[in-house]
């Protein structure tokens, strides 16, 4: 955590200097008070009062001004650190692979970016400087106390170990509790996030009461974790307070006897009491800060868990930039399994797509169609075999150069909040209006876009709210086409298009796929019939391959799937 301060070393250094000035001013003022009492009051010498009182005011002013500077710098630095942390976390989360996100809980990730960052920030903003100032005051006042009167100092020091014991027990008890609080907050946010995304499903199934209860239950767990930490906090401070008051009582008692015996002056005792409170203040503060520290350490752990996570999909050290491709895609004995899965999702898949060919992938739901195409842009790595483009293993080229050359329409269309134009231009933000319109026309999206009053400047909500399913898909197709990729992947992409548009869209897609290597997860018979190669997948294996006519002749399963998916009437010409 302290490493986070390094980039802000200058401000931190200035903050530390201010802190030393404040501590110095605080340590010197009891001496002035002693002088006022002993040389002024007790001696009955009014002329001696003015200078030390003036100096006292000066010390107070110095402490005030530099206290302000120190407080401002600390907050400022902590905000900078939080800014850096959020950016680093975001960039890291973006770069983590599909596998990571398959398993990560959105709410936990969001909690780390918000609440956990705030815990660390709060500690760095106040805690660190308070800790240092406590240490300076503690050591400074102890040294002065021993120089002033070692017997009294000894009495004071005796209270310190018992306070340390109380603090130590407190930290041991609350530390795991803080971890629990953050984890439960994460779970609560996961429930919230799921419900925000799925609010339509919840309402469609009239499950609001159930979800409200689920939220309340999770919320209650958070409450009980919070209450437990509060109990730990509340019990410890009064105890420390009590111990410190015992110390003061002992000092007054012994100091009083020494004054009566003539070994100590009134001023010395008064100064001593001031030092004592200077000593107690940091001790009390330490109690609060240790709580804050324990909490920040737990949060920092959670933050660094993400920052230190390495993506399993990243550029190889010797990765080259994939030169512009012709588009020969080959799978060589590829087997693949999702992390945590018990068996292979794909087994020994081999095929070659020559440049310009259209490959249709067919198979029942769950057979592995999407899994195959996910390996081409290297969303996942195979466990055996390799995927090559123009002979380059996709693991040997940079992700950016690979993915820039592949246009992909994923099975779940996600649009970003912004205008329709921005969404189509997502992969090529500098595209000209003419290019964008051409892509939209090709994807049969231009007409409905032009019908909006704002046209291409129409704003869509997050995930494309405000568009129909089919419209969303056509924007996604336009987005892929705008890249003018040599390799095009369409996953179920046109299934949500109504029958009327289907014919036009098919014409457009046929034209678009020409000259590109295209992978289509087939939904329409026309695509299948015209494909250069049809791969029939069953339980992760290629069970038949060939053209439509060949498969119709040779594969019983192919006939069955066509029957079930498209109806026999359409199949036999
Ligand atoms: N992210 C994932 N993590 C773990 N298992 C997965 C994941 N995605 C898919 N699977 C599993 O892998 C298998 C193949 O899934 P895949 O998505 O490739 O099927 P599909 O042929 O595209 O099906 P559909 O036609 O329904 O889209 C399924 O059994 C599925 O349960
Ligand atoms: Mg799929």
H helix or E strand, kind and range, residue 128: helix 128-148
Establish whether residue 464 lines the binding site of ligand 1, counting it when its CB lies within 6 angstroms of any ligand atom. no
pLDDT in tens, 463-484: 666 788 778 888 988 998 898 8
pTM of the model: 0.81
Instruction: Kindly tell me if the per-residue pLDDT of 568 is higher than 80.
Output: no
The best mutation among 96, 345, 408 to test binding of ligand 1, ranked by most ligand atoms within 8 Å of the C-beta, falls on: 345
Exposed, middle or buried, 571 (CB in 10 Å: 0-12/13-18/19+)?
middle
Model pLDDT, residue 81: 93
The domain that contains 7 carries what CATH number? Answer: 1.20.1560.10
Range of the domain at 413: 408-484
pLDDT-derived band at 572 (thresholds 50, 70, 90) equals very low
Largest CA distance in the chain: 122
Residue scoring higher pLDDT (461 or 208): 208
Same domain, 424 and 284: no
When pLDDT is averaged across residues 493-520 and rounded to a whole number, the result is 70
When pLDDT is averaged across residues 168-190 and rounded to a whole number, the result is 84
Instruction: Kindly tell me if the per-residue pLDDT of 63 is higher than 60.
Output: yes
CA–CA separation, 338 and 341 (whole Å)? 5
Residue scoring higher pLDDT (334 or 30): 334
CA–CA separation, 492 and 520 (whole Å)? 7
- 553 assigned to some structural domain: no
**Phi then psi dihedrals of residue 518, to 5 deg:** -120, 140
Identify the residue whose C-alpha is closest to ligand 1 atom 9: 371
| 3-class state of residue 488 by DSSP | strand
Same domain, 413 and 303: no
Model pLDDT, residue 300: 93
Q: How does the average pLDDT of the chain come out, rounded? A: 87
pLDDT-derived band at 573 (thresholds 50, 70, 90) equals very low
Q: For tokens 């189509």, name the residue.
A: 424
Residue scoring higher pLDDT (385 or 186): 385
Instruction: Kindly tell me if the per-residue pLDDT of 402 is higher than 90.
Output: yes
The domain that contains 444 carries what CATH number? Answer: 3.40.50.300
Q: Ligand 1 centre from 384 Cα, in Å? A: 18
- 185 assigned to some structural domain: yes
Same domain, 33 and 182: yes
Tokens of 552: 């119709």
Query: Which of 138-152, 227-241, 491-505 has the largest mean confidence?
Result: 138-152
- 530 assigned to some structural domain: no
Number of structural domains the chain divides into: 2
Q: Ligand 1 centre from 209 Cα, in Å? A: 32
- 183 assigned to some structural domain: yes
**Phi then psi dihedrals of residue 333, to 5 deg:** 55, 45
Domain ends where: 456, 484, 512? 484
| DSSP character string of 336-399 | E--TT-SS-SEEEEEEEE-TT-EEEEEESTTSSHHHHHHTTTTSS--SEEEEEETTEEGGGB-H
- 393 assigned to some structural domain: no
Residue scoring higher pLDDT (507 or 393): 393
Lowest mean pLDDT among 144-153, 419-428, 495-504, 537-546: 495-504
Domain ends where: 433, 450, 484? 484
Q: Ligand 1 centre from 372 Cα, in Å? A: 10
Identify the residue whose C-alpha is closest to ligand 1 atom 2: 338
Model pLDDT, residue 77: 92
pLDDT-derived band at 493 (thresholds 50, 70, 90) equals low
- 87 assigned to some structural domain: yes
- 213 assigned to some structural domain: yes
pLDDT-derived band at 17 (thresholds 50, 70, 90) equals very high
CA–CA separation, 230 and 122 (whole Å)? 18
Model pLDDT, residue 295: 84
Establish whether residue 368 lines the binding site of ligand 1, counting it when its CB lies within 6 angstroms of any ligand atom. yes
| 3-class state of residue 570 by DSSP | helix
| DSSP strand pairing (358-363 vs 384-389) | unpaired
Q: How many helices (H) and strands (E) does the chain have?
A: 21, 12
Instruction: Kindly tell me if the per-residue pLDDT of 499 is higher than 70.
Output: no
Lowest mean pLDDT among 217-221, 368-372, 439-443: 439-443
CA–CA separation, 58 and 73 (whole Å)? 22
- 494 assigned to some structural domain: no
pLDDT in tens, 225-282: 999 888 877 777 787 778 878 888 888 888 899 899 988 888 888 888 888 787 777 7
Residue scoring higher pLDDT (567 or 35): 35
Q: Ligand 1 centre from 334 Cα, in Å? A: 16
Model pLDDT, residue 489: 92
When pLDDT is averaged across residues 23-39 and rounded to a whole number, the result is 88
Taking the CA of 361 as reference, the closest ligand is: 1
Establish whether residue 366 lines the binding site of ligand 1, counting it when its CB lies within 6 angstroms of any ligand atom. yes
Nearest atom in ligand 1 to the alpha carbon of residue 368 is 18
| DSSP state for residue 557 in the 8-state scheme | H
Per residue, the 3-state secondary structure of 399-460, as one string, reads HHHHHCCEEEECCCCCCCCEEHHHHHCCCCCCCCHHHHHHHHHHCCCHHHHHHCCCHHHCEE
Establish whether residue 341 lines the binding site of ligand 1, counting it when its CB lies within 6 angstroms of any ligand atom. yes
| 3-class state of residue 319 by DSSP | coil
Q: For tokens 């056509």, name the residue.
A: 474
When pLDDT is averaged across residues 547-573 and rounded to a whole number, the result is 74
pLDDT-derived band at 372 (thresholds 50, 70, 90) equals very high
Q: Ligand 2 centre from 386 Cα, in Å? A: 21
Domain ends where: 258, 287, 307? 307
With both helix axes pointing from N to C terminus, report the angle between 469-482 and 433-442 in degrees, rounded to the nearest 10: 130
């Amino acid at each position: 955590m302290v490493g986070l301060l390094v980039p802000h070393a200058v401000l931190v250094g200035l903050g530390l200097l201010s802190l030393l000035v404040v501590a110095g001013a605080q340590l010197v003022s009891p001496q002035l008070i002693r002088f006022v009492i002993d040389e002024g009051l007790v001696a009955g010498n009014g002329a001696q009062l003015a200078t030390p009182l003036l100096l006292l005011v000066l010390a107070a002013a110095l402490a005030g001004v530099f206290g302000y500077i120190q407080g401002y710098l600390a907050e400022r630095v902590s905000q900078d650190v939080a800014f850096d942390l959020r950016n680093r976390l975001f960039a890291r989360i973006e770069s983590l692979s599909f596998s990571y996100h398959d398993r990560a809980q959105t709410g936990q990730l969001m909690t780390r970016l918000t609440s956990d960052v705030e815990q660390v920030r709060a500690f760095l903003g106040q805690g660190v400087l308070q800790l240092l100032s406590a240490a300076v005051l503690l050591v400074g006042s102890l040294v002065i106390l021993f120089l002033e009167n070692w017997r009294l100092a000894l009495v004071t020091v005796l209270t310190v170990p018992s306070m340390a014991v109380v603090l130590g027990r407190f930290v041991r008890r609350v530390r795991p509790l803080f971890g629990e609080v953050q984890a439960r907050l994460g779970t609560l946010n996961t429930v919230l996030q799921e419900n925000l995304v799925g609010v339509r499903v919840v309402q469609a199934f009239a499950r609001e009461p159930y979800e409200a209860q689920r939220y309340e239950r999770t919320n209650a767990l958070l409450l009980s974790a919070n209450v437990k930490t509060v109990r730990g906090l509340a019990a410890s401070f009064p105890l420390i307070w009590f111990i410190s008051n015992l110390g003061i009582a002992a000092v007054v008692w012994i100091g009083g006897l020494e004054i009566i015996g003539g070994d100590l002056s009134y001023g010395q005792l008064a100064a001593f009491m001031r030092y004592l409170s200077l000593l107690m203040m940091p001790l009390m503060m330490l109690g609060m800060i240790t709580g804050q520290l324990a909490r920040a350490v737990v949060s920092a752990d959670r933050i660094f868990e993400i920052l230190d996570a390495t993506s399993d999909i990243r550029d190889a050290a010797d990765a080259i930039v994939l030169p512009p491709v012709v588009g020969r895609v080959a799978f060589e004995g590829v087997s693949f399994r999702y992390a945590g899965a018990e068996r292979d999702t794909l087994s020994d898949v081999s095929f070659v797509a020559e440049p310009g060919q259209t490959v249709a992938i067919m198979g029942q739901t769950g057979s592995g169609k999407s899994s195959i195409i996910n390996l081409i842009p290297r969303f996942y790595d195979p466990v055996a075999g390799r995927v090559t483009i123009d002979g380059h293993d996709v693991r040997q080229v940079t992700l950016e150069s690979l993915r820039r050359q592949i246009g992909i329409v994923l099975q779940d269309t996600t649009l970003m909040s912004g205008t329709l134009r921005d969404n189509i231009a997502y992969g090529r933000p500098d595209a000209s209006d003419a290019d964008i319109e051409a892509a939209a026309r090709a994807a049969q999206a231009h007409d409905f876009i032009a019908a909006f009053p704002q046209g291409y400047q129409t704003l869509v909500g997050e995930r494309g709210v405000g568009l129909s399913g089919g419209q969303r898909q056509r924007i996604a197709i336009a987005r892929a086409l705008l890249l003018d990729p040599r390799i095009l992947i369409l996953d179920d992409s046109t299934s949500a298009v109504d029958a009327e548009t289907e014919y036009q869209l098919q014409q457009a897609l046929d034209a678009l796929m020409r000259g590109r290597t295209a992978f289509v997860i087939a939904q329409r018979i026309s695509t299948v019939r015209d494909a250069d190669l049809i791969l029939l997948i069953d339980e992760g294996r290629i069970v038949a391959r060939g053209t439509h006519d060949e498969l119709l002749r040779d594969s019983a399963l192919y006939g069955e799937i066509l029957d079930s998916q498209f109806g026999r009437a359409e199949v036999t010409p």
